[in-house]
Structure 1
Amino acid sequence: MDAGRRQILGLALAINGVLGTIMICALPAWKVLISTSVYPGEIYGTWYGLWKICTIYTTGKMECVGYEVFAPLVDDTMKAIRALVIIAILSGIFGILLGVAGNKRTNFMLDDGQKRKVGFASGVVFIIAGFLVFIPVCWMANIIIRDSYELRNYDSDVSIKLGASLYIGWFTTGFLFLGGGLLLYRQE
């Protein structure tokens, strides 16, 4: 595969990673609580996201409320996870701009040496963004698994599960690492 195609593939993978990072930031599905003994009209489950909590009733109705209502639920851990995800989004957008500017098939720069350096820098930025996504996703997964073991000893009617945002976050990390790695690969 020639360098131009490799750059385009790396940039496409990294863009998918950045879009996935935006998705996990917006979705309220990091932590899922499901009630095993439900009656009509009661709460079936609760989804926790970075910015809001959504409650699902057995009737199919879903209500979402921002964390501002539940101020004690936003602890320092949640604030740190939010900050890491936001920084990952911003660095991913910066990496996209660098990747487009340093691509062999664009004319933003005339010097090929400068294009190589900018392309290399975009790969580094994408790998950093991958770590900035990987850390909060694994951190939250660790918290959820720990909470599920603690809850199992006290309440058997509620189960805690990993949300879809965590799984999307792991795929997103892979896309960012692969895209960044392809952009880091020595260009001819």
Structure 2
Amino acid sequence: MKQKLEILALVLGFFGLFGTIAVTALPTWKVSAFIGANLIVMEELWEGLWMACYRQINVKMQCKVYDSLLILPAELQAARGFMCVSIALVVSALIVTAFGIQRSNCCGDNMKSKNIVLAVGGCLYLISFLTTLIPVSWVSDSIIRQFYNPTVLDAQKREIGQAIFIGWGTSGVLLVTGIILLVRHSKRRSKEEDVYHDAYNMEEKSAIKEDSVYLPQTGSGLHKFQEYV
């Protein structure tokens, strides 16, 4: 059961990797808000980190990569960097975790080294959770503030897209994965300390026996006197 938790953490880590890649690549961070009486609902606009897509009714969607990074708002510029860092962190966490599980051949039978590797993997997952949660929450906050801003035209208002919801779900998966690994590390460490403590007590008892001198019990003179009587 304990080793199954480590395998579960690996599986969740793969889901987290796929999620971060999907969130980074999807253009549905911002989508058209169909509000107002004059807005044509047959047109749809998507805005992502790398491209913008436009579609009309009975027309295939057309996407175009941004010509310059500087034309993007600050939250999308920061989201690009955060999501790229998230992908790198999740890949590193997967590799480190694979070396730190109990069934791996890394570090041989040295459980102390494996525990350290497992803890590093859990910390990487927690950092990737933050680097995924921050950009999606930042962009969603910007969308909501602009949506309720009366000075912004209805045609310029956007709604939260699917990529942001996937980003929230992915950040939750990364958080759970990191917690599982750190819990397993703490249990394995406490078990290792118990084994070390028992071994130390056994060595201490054996040392006491080696230092002690055996004194055979001899009968008293009164006892010998009673035997003759």
- C-alpha offsets along residues 89-128 of structure 1, whole Å, 9 cap, x if unaligned? 1011000000001111111221111111101110000010
Q: CA RMSD in A?
A: 1.9
Does residue 49 of structure 1 match 2:48?
Answer: yes
Q: Please show how residues 1-188 of structure 1 align to structure 2 within 5 Å.
A: 1-2=1-2, 4-35=3-34, 37-38=39-40, 44-68=43-67, 73-110=71-108, 111-150=110-149, 154-156=152-154, 160-185=158-183, 186-188=186-188
Measure the CA separation in 2 of the matches of 1:76 and 1:155: 20
Aligned residue in 1 for 2:215 = none
% identical equivalent positions: 29
Measure the CA separation in 2 of the matches of 1:87 and 1:168: 17
- 2:75 maps to a residue whose letter is T
How much has 1:159 moved relative to structure 2? 5.1
Measure the CA separation in 1 of the matches of 2:85 and 2:155: 38
CA contact (8 A) 1:92 1:125 kept: yes
1:45 alignment partner, SS class: strand
More strand by share: 1
How much has 1:63 moved relative to structure 2? 0.5
Q: Which moved more, 1:12-21 or 1:128-137?
A: 12-21
More helix by share: 2
Higher relative contact order, chain-length normalized (CA < 8 Å, sep 6+) = 1
TM-score of the aligned structures, taking structure 2 as reference length: 0.74
CA contact (8 A) 2:20 2:83 kept: yes
Gaps of 5+ in 2: 189-229
- 1:57 maps to a residue whose letter is Q
How much has 1:72 moved relative to structure 2? 5.1
TM-score of the aligned structures, taking structure 1 as reference length: 0.89
2:12 alignment partner, SS class: helix
2:158 alignment partner, SS class: strand
- 1:90 maps to a residue whose letter is A
CA contact (8 A) 2:69 2:77 kept: no
- 1:181 maps to a residue whose letter is I
How much has 1:16 moved relative to structure 2? 0.8
Measure the CA separation in 2 of the matches of 1:51 and 1:94: 24
Gaps of 5+ in 1: none
**Structure 1 segments of 4 or more deviating over 4 A?**
156-159
Higher Cα Rg: structure 1 or 2? Answer: 2
Q: How many residues align?
A: 182
- C-alpha offsets along residues 14-62 of structure 1, whole Å, 9 cap, x if unaligned? 22112100100000010001455428xxx61110000000001112420
CA contact (8 A) 1:130 1:177 kept: yes
Measure the CA separation in 1 of the matches of 2:124 and 2:6: 14
- 1:38 maps to a residue whose letter is I
